[in-house]
A = this chain, B = another copy of it.
Amino acid sequence: MTTKEKIMDVALHMFSERGYEAVSIRDICGEVGIKESTLYYHFKNKKDILDSLTAKFREHIEGLLGGVDEIADEPAAEGQEFVGEKMMDTYMMDSYLFEPFCNLMIRLMMIEQFHNEEIRELYEKTMFTDPYEIQMDIFMRLAKAGTFTENEAKWLVRDYHAYMNMLTYKYLLNGELTEERKQRYAKEVHEYMQRIMKRQ
């Protein structure tokens, strides 16, 4: 890992725990093991570190969104109750919510949305707008498959979205992201979907 990468890694860990303002350049340099002026060789100022992190995150997200369609079109694998849903959830989990870099970035955005307009927008896009669109797409497929009516789907996706957010905050965005908490999250998501599918 290069010095620049190490700086970004340490900064991300600290920012996502204490917030951008609460972390000083000296904190980061102390942890990395360099002098402050060395940091300024790699980044033009403190904001530049944050900007580099969000830029990296943006690229990561674009990559994910680029591959979403082919995954959604895959037929349901064995052990899955319906097309798209569980596949999409593991996709949403393993390569986004559970993925270490993304998880820390989400925590960082969650804290910093109140101090930074650009981050607020990115946070809303990557945690609300984009997921909602994907979830809506899935529910509409299920509606077309006859699982429920289109009107029901429109309401259900809102309920689902709100509930997923609650679970995400509860299990994935505070404290350490342990294997146990991931599994409990996945289990509750699964239970929720089972409930939805049964009731109709």
Instruction: Identify the A interface with B (CB < 8 A).
Output: 18-19, 21-22, 110-111, 114-115, 155, 158-159, 161-163, 165-166, 195
Contact = CB atoms under 8 A, between A and B. Distances in A.
**How many copies of this kind of chain does the complex include?**
2
A82 B77 CA distance: 45
Contact of A166 (B19, B22, B165, B195): B165
Nearest to A120: B174
A58 to B, nearest CB: 22
A148 to B, nearest CB: 12
Nearest to A18: B115
Which of A18, A21, A155, A163 has the most chain B CB atoms closer than 10 A to its own CB? A163
Contacts of A21: 19, 21-22
Contact of A155 (B18, B111, B114, B195): B195
A111 B161 CA distance: 23
